[in-house]
Amino acid sequence: MKLVKAGESHGKQMVGILANVPAGITVEKKFLNNLLKERSIALGRSERQTFERDKIDLLTGVRGGVTIGNNVAFAVKNAAYDKNIMGNFECDEEAGLMLNLRPGHADFGGLERTGFCDARSVAEGASARSTCIDALAGGIAIQMLKMLEIEVVAFVRSFGDILDEKNYSFNELTAIKAPAFTLNKNFALKCKQKINEAKLQGNSLGGTVEIWVKAIKPGFGSYVAEKRVNSVIAQLIMQLQAVKGLYFGENPFAFNGGGVEYVGSLSLSKSGKIIPQNSLAGGINGGMTDGDVIKITVAVKPIPTTQAGVKSVNYKTGDSCISEKVRSDTTAVFALCPVIKGTVALALSECICERLGCDNMQAIIKRYENL
């Protein structure tokens, strides 16, 4: 399945079109809206979330709660729509001027690329508001994987300089919920304290999110470069605005050890299936799933829009200034959990359809069971 997004942060609505959707996926409206809610109530969100009440407006491709094989189109309305600034045909461009550039954001590069006179249009299109569409598209993919008995979980592993060092089982992680996306109550309390401190300072914070995938069978993806499953996953994750990098495997420093320890071993189960053991690679080898739990660590940068502002330049005058103060979250780490979970599910759905076809779910389920 492939997603195309459209929309501006303060435009009328955010829009998504999901193509190559198999017929027969059960789509639950309540589940999709709950993903939007999780994104909205996550720790560190801005005051915008006090009046945004995100709900899916499903436009095409689903009938009676089941996909029909057509492209699925959906939208989320923006309560913060400002016609005066973002009107499609008539607007007050002077009222919406953004001239004090925000370092670390899309402002400067976008202006150099587009030739606009101020950064408003760039900022509107580059906004992470669009991740509500990623969450919904990913939600459909999550429901597809569920029909194959494949589960995806996401949780916060670190925030600022705080690390959750506890070990978890996959079954434990299925209980993860908003707003903190952690099972460690002490860690959650420290995170809340950090957020309050950052707010008082007008600053922002980053961290890491882990995504685990269980029970996907071996052989999805390819050893052919452009079809490698880790490449497909990485490309989609890196499209998310706050993501700075990602790592596949048990931990970000596993590669510092020796090869013997890193690759683990293979053994035969009682049922006669070959299974990987003690591998640090995180469920993907040679560009393909190996049947083990997939583990991915995603680095989330501090949001570049801060209330304190940083030293910058006015794009029109060239004068020194403090960067534009725009309403923004204190952190994207927690809100990205439901988004990244869906993004990984979407990437895996693409690999599954590439191998098993994308006509209808009953055929896909049968082919999957026969692997």
Q: pLDDT tens, position by position, for the chain (371 residues)?
A: 999 999 999 999 999 999 999 999 999 999 999 999 999 999 998 776 666 788 999 999 999 999 999 999 999 999 888 888 888 888 888 888 899 999 999 999 999 999 999 999 999 999 999 999 999 999 999 999 999 999 999 999 999 999 999 999 999 999 999 999 999 999 999 999 999 999 999 999 999 999 999 989 999 999 998 899 999 999 999 999 999 999 999 876 667 778 887 888 888 888 888 888 888 888 999 999 999 999 999 999 999 888 888 999 999 999 999 998 877 889 999 999 999 999 999 999 999 999 999 899 999 999 999 99
What local confidence, expressed as pLDDT, does residue 236 receive? 96
Kindly report the three-state secondary structure assignment for every residue of the chain: CEEEEECCCCCCEEEEEEECCCECCECCHHHHHHHHHHHHHCCCCCHHHHCCCCCCEEEECEECCEECCCCEEEEEECCCCCHHHHCCCCCCCCCCCCCECCCCCCHHHHHHHHCCCCCHHHHHHHCHHHHHHHHHHHHHHHHHHHCCCCEEEEEEEEECCEECCCCCCHHHHCCCCCCCCCCCHHHHHHHHHHHHHHHHHCCCECEEEEEEEECCCCCCECCCHHHCHHHHHHHHHCCCCCEEEEEECCCCCHHHCCHHHHHCEEEECCCCCEEEECCCCCCEECCEECCCCEEEEEEECCCCCCCCCCEEEECCCCCEEECCCCCCCCECCCCHHHHHHHHHHHHHHHHHHHHHCCCEHHHHHHHHHCC
Residue showing tokens 């993919």:
141
Residue showing tokens 């997004």:
5
Cα distance between residue 213 and residue 340, in whole Å? 12
Q: Cβ distance 346 to 310 under 8 Å?
A: no
What local confidence, expressed as pLDDT, does residue 357 receive? 93
Superfamily of domain 2-369: Chorismate synthase AroC (3.60.150.10)
Distances (CA, A) of 226 to 211, 284, 312: 22, 15, 39
What phi and psi, each to the nearest 5 degrees, are found at residue 216? -85, 130
Task: Name the pairing type of β-strands 311-313 and 320-322.
Answer: antiparallel
186: left (phi over 0), alpha (psi -120 to 50) or beta: alpha
What local confidence, expressed as pLDDT, does residue 134 receive? 96
pTM of the full structure: 0.93
What local confidence, expressed as pLDDT, does residue 264 receive? 83
What local confidence, expressed as pLDDT, does residue 270 receive? 83
